[in-house]
Each structure stands twice: as C-alpha cells, then as structure tokens.
Amino acid sequence: MMSQKTTEKDEKKRIIVFDTTLRDGEQSPGNSMNIEEKVRIAKQLEKLNVDVIEAGFPIASEGDFEAVRRIAASIKGPQIAGLCRANPKDIDCAWDALKPAGERARIHTFIATSDIHMEYKLQMEPEKVLATAIAAVKRAASYTSNVEFSCEDATRTRLPFLAQVVEAVIDAGATTVNIPDTVGYTIPFEYFNIIKYLKDNVPNIDKAVISVHCHNDLGLAVANSIAAIQAGAEQVECTINGIGERAGNCSLEELVMTLRTRQDILPFFTKVATQQITPASRLLSTVTGIMVQPNKAVVGANAFAHESGIHQHGMMMDSSTYEIMTPESVGLGASVIVLGKHSGRHAFKKRLIDLGYELDDEALDKAFKKFKALADAKKEIFDEDIDAMMAEQVLRLNDRYQLDHITVTCGTFQSATATVQMQVDGVTVRTAELGDGPVDAASKAIKKLTRSKCKLLNMNIGSITSGTDAQGEVTVKIANGDNRAITGRGSSTDIIEAAAKALINALNCQAAVNREKIVMMNTSGEGE
Ligand code: KIV
Ligand code: ZN
C-alpha cells in the first residue's frame, strides 16, 4: 500500500486531491453520465493527475457498479474510490467493484453523526451510530488497508462526539477520515476551528489523513476548503466545474489555482497538471451538456477576457496588470485549427489520441465517417468540434433512438413543416408534422415517432466555435415524470438539426434511466 500521508517537502505541504466528479458530481440533476462517458472522464482525470478518483457508488445501480469496475480496471495512476453506506452489503459490493484496482482501491464508507441526521434520518442513538461506524471500517479494512470514513454532516455534529467517532474509526483501521460540510452550512472561520479542534483533541489523529468535503450552498465551498487546509487538513474533495449535489461541491480548478497562485501566503501544493484543467472542464460540459456560466472563475468563457479599454491597455503594457494567472497555465490557448476536409485517417487518429480517445478499428471507422461529414459542412475543425462529435455520436453507443435525417420548410407566411426519419429500436420510421416554427415542428415529429409525451422544460442555443459555419450547440431539458429533469445535447452546423439531436439525446437518456434497475437509496438503512 502506498503511503496515505502527505510528505513535508521543504516548507511546503502536499495536498491530496480527491476528485468526486463521477460520484457526488454525477449525483446532481442533469449531470448523469453513461458508463462510456464516465470512463472517458476518468481518463481525463488521470491526465489531470488527481490523487484519487471517486468513481461512483457501486450499490446504487448496476450502471454505477459497472462504471466503478471498468474505471478500477482501466485507470492506472490515481487511486480509485467507491462509496458505500456503513453496512456489510454496501461494503462488500463496493469491494467487488473496486477489486480490479488492486492496491490502488479505496473503500469509502460513511454514516451521519449530527443530532439532526441521527434523530430524523437514521433514527439511531449516538452509541449505535458509533458502533456501526466502527463495524463498517473493520469490515472495509478486512479487504484493504486503504479505507476512508466520512462523518456525514460533520459540521453540524457536536464536537466531542465528532472527536469520539474520528478517534474510534482511526483505531478501527480508517486511514483517511473525512469531515464533510454536507449541507454547505459552515463558514471559513468555523471550519478552521473544527479541523483545529480535531487536530488538538483526537489523540491518534496523526495516524490518518484528514480530508475535507465542502458543498457550495452558501458559495463558500472553496473558501472553506482553504481554511481547512490552513488548519491542517491534508486531503480536499472536489469536482470539475464544481458540479455536485444542489449548489455543487468545491471546484477543483478554483481550489488548485488558488493554491498555485497564492504560493506567497499558502505553503501548499498539489500534483495536478493544471494545463489539463480547461480540457477537463470542456470535456465534462460536452458530456453532460451543462455549460459553465461565462463568469465562472478559471474556466468560464470570460475568465481571461479583458473588455474595458483601460484593462486592455494595461494588458498590452504588461499582462500582470490585470492577470493573476496565465491562460496557458490552465491549458487555455487560442483555439487552433486542427483538421479540415483534406485531413486523412492518420491525422485524425493522431488528433484523437492527443485528445485522449483510444478507439478500436470499428469505432475509428465510424468516427472518421462522422468527421468527414462534419468537415464537408464546416471548413475548419477545432478540438472542441471533435469533442462534441465524439460525445454525441461515437461515445453514445447504445442509443435506442437515432436521427437519420430531417428536412424543414418554413418562412414568414407559412407554418413550419418538419419531415423526420429516424431509427427506433433499429426500425426505420418517418413522419411529417406542422408546428409553430421549425423547432416545434421537429419536436412534434420526434415525439410522435418515439411515442413520447415528454414536456420540454427549456432549450439553450449556443455555438461551439466561431464563424458563420460554426457548429451550433443546443441543450434541452425534458421532464422525466419523477420531478427530475433530463438533459440532452446536440450539435450540428444546422441549428434545427442540433435541436432535433438534443431532444433525441434527452429521450435516449430517459430511456436509459428507465432501463437501469435503480436500487432505491434508502439512506435510513445505514445500519442494516
Ligand atoms: O456531502 C457528503 O457528506 C458526502 C459524503 C457521502 C462524503 O458526499
Ligand atoms: Zn457531498
């Protein structure tokens, strides 16, 4: 087993980066991913050089189990963690999924420790919670020496009880103990004091790594994580683009770039390859269809844009006037033209490998055909175009519905008509519908062919790159009937086709969700 402890290097201390994009991040509305997509994100996290990838919650569904197993088998650098509640069935299931990672496998088990959760959710006395936590850690430790324990809702837990639980789970074999701000309630000063209290009052605290996991309900997740590091926390749990339950988790890019940019007063460092931050952010947006807001720190479209004359002038004199970090340091270069319609299979394959796609011959043939079709419609193909094409047409292999073609007629004085031909479970079907505009006509036709009664909640239209032949990108949200929204995305040089693809993508995700046998997450069952 590799050492869990951070090492003091000169005067700087290394912070372990635990990425939970594929678990806490994926748990948030609109961010669900299929197995291929999760493996693809995991490969990018490997390039980013995070220390730990939390790959999922294996007992949650067959899909989650399989994703964790595939990631555990294929990712070589980072440790792979799987989440499980504090009961034998969950722990055994997590271990089954994690086994292929060998000595890099980490079991992450949790139970809530706050009075509110113990009384209302678990309906367990504190003594029972303590005993359950110890038993869970012992069971996990019988499989691996790499065990993380989380005291859910730690920031609303009575401190003496929190210290008692932390001491007991370390004695039981936990090598990392996480102190989550589950509901995003704490503030930096308070969180600093909680970590400091544990450091000062838990006698065996030095035998484990103290981890922090912050939610962003009050917009303080990054600030709280940094305060905790200053108090002695050695691991930070975070997600790309800050996705996660409700308002999200601590954003990896903001945390890492804060530590890097303020070396003058923060004596810490991470191993993250910061040039991979922008590719990771874009890949996640491409896969989930959820774009970051333009003013998002580090990865937003405006993060390095200087609009006002005074700022532009200052930048021309010296970029340090208005730039505290360089765009290059987060992997943001001017978009380079990478390929065009004369590019051959070789150049295309090489570009795919550079972007992190490893395809077998059959998938490469398929991708190359799509690339040629795109290159016919668009003279210059950028990396972003390739990512969009791969996410939409190549990685989504098991789609129930596929668009063959769409023809739309519309104009100022006539209703729009859309004629759509598609594959539904491998059968060719076609229809034409009238609508109030071309998108309405297209969605009516698609809903008729797929027999869907879905309600379209909203639609966003943007462009992937610049120019009049740029690919348009459409994101739609449909209601799933269980109060959850499902997101779909589509791209094309034709915006109506992009909208049609986005709706079909959402219907495919809905079909996949309905197919997946979801094991109900009864969190009151921790002690079972
Ligand atoms: O927010 C939380 O408490 C969690 C734990 C399961 C670590 O996600
Ligand atoms: Zn969380």
Ligand 1 within 6 A of CB of 18: no
Sign of CA dihedral 140, 142, 147, 151: positive
Look at residue 528 in the predicted model and tell me its pLDDT: 36
> How many C-beta atoms lie closer than 10 Å to residue 260's C-beta?
17
Alpha-carbon span 199 to 343, nearest angstrom: 59
Q: What's the 237 CA to ligand 2 centre distance in angstroms?
A: 9
Ligand 1 within 6 A of CB of 213: yes
Find tokens 């504190």 and name the residue.
Answer: 126
At 54, is the secondary structure helix, strand, or coil? strand
Q: What's the 323 CA to ligand 1 centre distance in angstroms?
A: 35
Q: What's the 391 CA to ligand 1 centre distance in angstroms?
A: 29
CA triplet 343, 349, 352: central angle to 5 degrees?
Answer: 110
Spell out the domains of the chain, with CATH numbers in brackets: 10-288 (3.20.20.70), 337-394 (no CATH), 401-516 (3.30.160.270)
407-446 residues labelled b (16+ CB within 10 A) or e (exposed): ebebeeeeebbbbbbbeeeeeeeeeebebeebbbbbbbbb
Ligand 1 within 6 A of CB of 110: yes
Helices 62-74 & 88-98, crossing angle to 10 degrees? Answer: 40
Find tokens 């912070």 and name the residue.
Answer: 15
Alpha-carbon span 19 to 37, nearest angstrom: 16
Would you mind telling me the total number of residues written for the chain in this entry? 528
Q: What is the DSSP string of 169-196?
A: HHHHT-SEEEEEETTS---HHHHHHHHH
pLDDT in tens, the chain (528 residues): 444 555 555 579 999 999 999 999 998 877 778 888 899 899 999 999 999 999 999 999 999 999 999 999 999 999 999 999 999 999 999 999 999 999 999 999 999 999 999 999 999 999 999 999 999 999 999 999 999 999 999 999 999 999 999 999 999 999 999 999 999 999 999 999 999 999 999 999 999 999 999 999 999 999 999 999 999 999 999 999 999 999 999 999 999 999 999 999 999 999 999 999 998 998 888 788 788 988 999 999 888 877 667 777 777 778 888 789 999 999 886 445 567 788 888 888 888 887 777 788 888 998 899 888 888 887 778 777 887 788 776 655 567 898 999 999 988 888 899 999 999 999 999 999 999 999 999 999 999 999 998 888 888 787 776 666 777 888 888 886 665 667 787 888 888 999 998 899 888 877 876 665 333 344 444 443
Alpha-carbon span 525 to 518, nearest angstrom: 16
Find tokens 């959850």 and name the residue.
Answer: 484
Ligand 1 within 6 A of CB of 4: no
Q: What kind and span of H or E run contains 14?
A: strand 12-14
